[in-house]
Amino acid sequence: MTRRRFIQSGTLASALSFVPTTFAQERPLRVGLIGTGWYGKGSLFRALQVAPIEVVSLCDTDSRMLNEAAELVAQRQKSGKKPRLYPDFRKAIAEGDVDVMMVSTPDHWHAVPAIAAMKAGMDVYCEKPTGVDVVESQSMVAAARKYNRIVQVNTQRRSTPHLIEAKDEIIAAGKLGKIQKVEIGVWWHMRNRDTLATAPDMAPPETLDYEMWTGPAPMKPYSRIHHPRGWRAFNEYGNGIVGDMCVHMLDMVRWLLGLGWPEEITSWGGILNDRAARANISDTQTAIFKYPDFDVTWNHKTWGRSPEPDPDFQWFGTIHGEKGTLKCSVFKYEFTPAGASKPERSRKALLEFDKYPEDETEKDLERHVASAMRGHWRNFLEARQKRGSMLPVADIEQAHISSSSCFLANMSMKLGRSLRWDPKAHLVLGDSEANSLLARPYRGPWEHPNPASI
């Protein structure tokens, strides 16, 4: 689906065309990035495409990745300058000359630097999920509100053009009727079994400050799985496939259907197939998020054949209504009326190679997501301009609900029972053991954030 066709259809015109108007009279927006890996650079380069931005600082515990990112930023930004480089995010924040700080680290390093940036007067653009536990996530909301910061979390399904169209023209138009059931899941093989089973412990590379990389997480022996990107295979640094992939699909259907907190969360599963791997995240898991009128059910398994024949719906959200079914993914949507044998309407992801030709050649870019990332940045920048009267579409509070619901799902699986959640008290009802797990222990000298002491 091309940009021209989307605009000609009259859909998403404002989302695709918003440009910050005040920047023309002011200095460029000063941006810093903590975490210069795969998604950090991808998000940053989309920002450079949509607004006058000067990347003034980069931070990473891996000097090789840091220097590579500096070279790429100098090539991409208008000034041609290399940003200042830091191995420690605290020094980057202490400079005090950043308007927007991006936090694109592994999950266990989201909350602490994001809150520190907010306290320093910076708005924050953070990767999902909000952190690794409920109290971290709650503390990020508290900091954003106390310091009047705009915080956008990169759950960019909320800015995906074809999904916005589905929300407006299928759901809001009443074509689904009463919602009866929602299914979400992923069938991709998310764990490289051979690598995870055989990678030995070894000394960290000289370019990596592994002590700082580990930060508040438990110290584990280093292996080549841990960094870069393989950290997702370990619960010490994230929340497994539920925290990585379910958070996107749960957030998507919450946004599409206007859902808040689930009333009850039940999950079961574990390492049922891939027992020889070093990974300690579940390879098989079901989670049920109970809402008053219907359930949202998540499933994943990282083995065997997919039950879904369409490769575009291997990571999906399917909304079943009395009048029809809406299937959604990052690649497309399809609407099929009840009783019909094939979809009545579909739309694929918007590609904008005509306007952004660099999208076609950029290393590691998820090209089908580029338009959504640009839309997410435009929305964030508009919210900054309208501070006090507008929140971004993936405001930290919305991300907190989606992220913490996934954290609670993993807690339910661990405890072997359902959890009833009280969003006002921010506690699991009648379950002191579950409540003791809402904040993970931190490795010293790092201190766990708490909303009461923000």
Residue 8 burial (C-beta neighbours within 10 Å; 0-12, 13-18, 19+): exposed
Task: Give the E-state strand segments of 42-178 in sequence order.
Answer: 53-59, 84-86, 100-103, 123-126, 151-153
3-state helix, strand, coil in the chain (%, to 5): 40, 20, 40
End-to-end CA, the chain: 45
**Could you please report the per-residue DSSP string of 422-454?**
ETTTTEETT-HHHHTTSSPPPPTT-----GGG-
Residue written as token pair 């440009």: 19
Least confident of 19-28, 238-247, 282-291: 19-28
**Alpha carbons 347 and 222: distance in angstroms, whole number:** 44
**Alpha carbons 369 and 351: distance in angstroms, whole number:** 8
**Alpha carbons 313 and 330: distance in angstroms, whole number:** 8
pLDDT at 82: 98
pLDDT at 11: 45
Which amino acid, one-letter code, is at 90? R
- Whether residue 176 contacts residue 170, with contact meaning beta carbons closer than 8 Å, is answered with yes
Write out pLDDT tens, residues 155-175: 999 999 999 999 999 999 999
Least confident of 89-93, 211-215, 229-233, 354-358: 229-233
Give mean pLDDT, residues 274-283. Answer: 89
DSSP code at position 359: G
Predicted confidence band at 26 (pLDDT cuts at 50, 70, 90)?
A: low
User: In the numeric block, which tokens belong to residue 410?
Assistant: 């993993």
pLDDT at 311 over 70: yes
pLDDT at 214 over 80: yes
pLDDT at 13 over 70: no
Predicted confidence band at 16 (pLDDT cuts at 50, 70, 90)?
A: low
pLDDT at 21: 54
Mean of per-residue pLDDT scores for the chain:
94
Least confident of 18-27, 229-238, 259-268, 445-454: 18-27
- Global pTM reads 0.94
> What is the CATH T-level fold of the domain 159-349+399-446, as seen in this structure?
Dihydrodipicolinate Reductase; domain 2 (3.30.360)
Write out pLDDT tens, residues 280-309: 999 999 999 999 999 999 999 999 999 999
Tally the residues of the chain: 454
- Whether residue 387 contacts residue 150, with contact meaning beta carbons closer than 8 Å, is answered with yes
pLDDT at 24: 47
Write out pLDDT tens, residues 85-99: 999 999 999 999 999
Q: Render the burial of 232-268: b for 16+ CB within 10 Å, e for the rest.
A: bbbbbbbbbbbbbbbbbbbbbbbbbbebebbebbbbe
**Alpha carbons 452 and 329: distance in angstroms, whole number:** 38
Instruction: Please state, as a whole number, how many other Cβ atoms lie within 10 Å of the Cβ of residue 357.
Output: 9
pLDDT at 17 over 80: no
Q: Is 189 helix (H, G, I), strand (E, B) or coil?
A: coil
Residue extents of the structural domains in the chain? 3-156+391-397, 159-349+399-446
Give mean pLDDT, residues 243-252. Answer: 98
Q: Place domain 3-156+391-397 in its CATH homologous superfamily.
A: NAD(P)-binding Rossmann-like Domain (3.40.50.720)
Predicted confidence band at 27 (pLDDT cuts at 50, 70, 90)?
A: confident
pLDDT at 193 over 60: no
Angstrom CA distances, 295 to 166, 178, 282, 287, stand at 21, 13, 22, 10
**Alpha carbons 367 and 353: distance in angstroms, whole number:** 9
**Could you please report the per-residue DSSP string of 26-63?**
SPPEEEEEE--SHHHHHHHHHHHHHS-EEEEEEE-SBH
pLDDT at 147 over 70: yes
